[in-house]
Amino acid sequence: MTTPEAEQGGVAGADRATSEAAAARPEERLERAVRAAEQALIEYEIAVETFRVEIENFSRLHHQRLGPLYARIEELDARIAEARAARSGDPEDLRAAREARARLAPVPGVEELLHGWMDGDGLFPEAAAMLTDQPVRPPQRVRPSEEARGRYRELVRKAHPDLAQEDGERERREEFMTRVNAAYARGDENELRELAAEWAAGPAPAEHLPSRGEELYARLEWLSRRKEMLTLVAKELEDSALAAMLRLAPDDPDGLLDEIGARLRDDVAQRETELAALRGPG
């Protein structure tokens, strides 16, 4: 039989347990808030990185397919200005011709900017072949495949450096994510599969230990600043001219480039006709 003293002691013990649980709840709630903020930030980073990769690949494809046409139009504009100046002798026409030609002067580093389609001296043979509809290497796809996207998301959620609690683990994750991001940017499904297997076989992530309330608040502040930085990056991407082009045909960017290419070829033909007229019978 339970004595009154024992009952009183039990009540006191229960009261202490209730009081301790109540004291722990604010920190537990803060811990859950930090975890939720971490996961939300990772998901946001995945979305921003995916968008960046799409913009970068679309930019490369844009240069590969349309760069030679833009270059041809600029060359024809310079020749038209020169022919017009030669015919009129007008000082203003002569100045316009010099400026048009100066805009075509070799620029150091242009080969890197145009991804191997042009150097400082003009178009490469492969780029010129595109103007004459000759076979060229297929352009890189605009976006990674669904499998690559899925594997990338899975790897980021598991291996993101922000989930590390120690400097050594953070460095390991940062190095690993550098390789993951590079494979994703290339759309390399095989490498992403290999990286997933490598991560699964690697050391298990350190168990997350409860943090003090001050540390949790500091963590939330850092996550907030990181989110603000990513928001600026996302806005810069969204405001870019290439993003505006992608919004015109999000499901068929290749078709959009084909349509623009057709218009540019018409512009080339018109300029060639105008140049021939200015030069007269030869």
pLDDT band at 117 (very low <50, low <70, confident <90, very high): very low
User: How far is 169 from 186, CA to CA, in rounded Å?
Assistant: 26
100 in Cβ contact with 77 (< 8 Å): yes
pLDDT at 139 over 60: no
pLDDT at 15 over 70: no
Joined together, the tokens standing for residue 35 give 């975890």
- The larger pLDDT score, comparing residue 50 to residue 126, is at 50
Look up the pTM and report it: 0.55
Which pLDDT score is estimated for 81?
A: 92
210 in Cβ contact with 31 (< 8 Å): yes
Which pLDDT score is estimated for 5?
A: 47
CA atoms within a 13 Å half-sphere pointing along the CA-CB vector of 170: 6
User: How far is 84 from 279, CA to CA, in rounded Å?
Assistant: 9
Structure-derived torsion over alpha carbons of residues 64, 68, 74, 80, reported in degrees to the nearest 10:
-160
Q: What type of residue sits at position 238?
A: E
Q: For residues 110-128, b (16+ Cβ closer than 10 Å) or e, as one string?
A: eeeebeebbbeeebeeebb
Which pLDDT score is estimated for 112?
A: 52
User: How far is 266 from 261, CA to CA, in rounded Å?
Assistant: 9
Q: Which helix (H) or strand (E) holds 212?
A: none
pLDDT at 177 over 60: yes
Average per-residue pLDDT for the chain: 77
Joined together, the tokens standing for residue 208 give 């997350």
57 in Cβ contact with 76 (< 8 Å): no
Residue 54 phi, psi dihedral angles, 5° rounding? -65, -45
Residues forming a β-bridge with 118: 123
Which pLDDT score is estimated for 141?
A: 53
Work out the average pLDDT over 178-199.
88
Question: Of 83, 102, 103, which is closest to residue 93 (Cα–Cα)?
Answer: 83
Work out the average pLDDT over 169-184.
88
Burial class (CB in 10 A: 0-12, 13-18, 19+), 99: exposed
94 in Cβ contact with 106 (< 8 Å): no
- The larger pLDDT score, comparing residue 82 to residue 121, is at 82
pLDDT tens track for 68-115: 999 999 999 999 999 999 988 899 989 998 998 888 876 555 445 444
pLDDT tens track for 222-270: 888 888 888 998 899 889 888 888 888 888 888 888 999 999 999 999 9
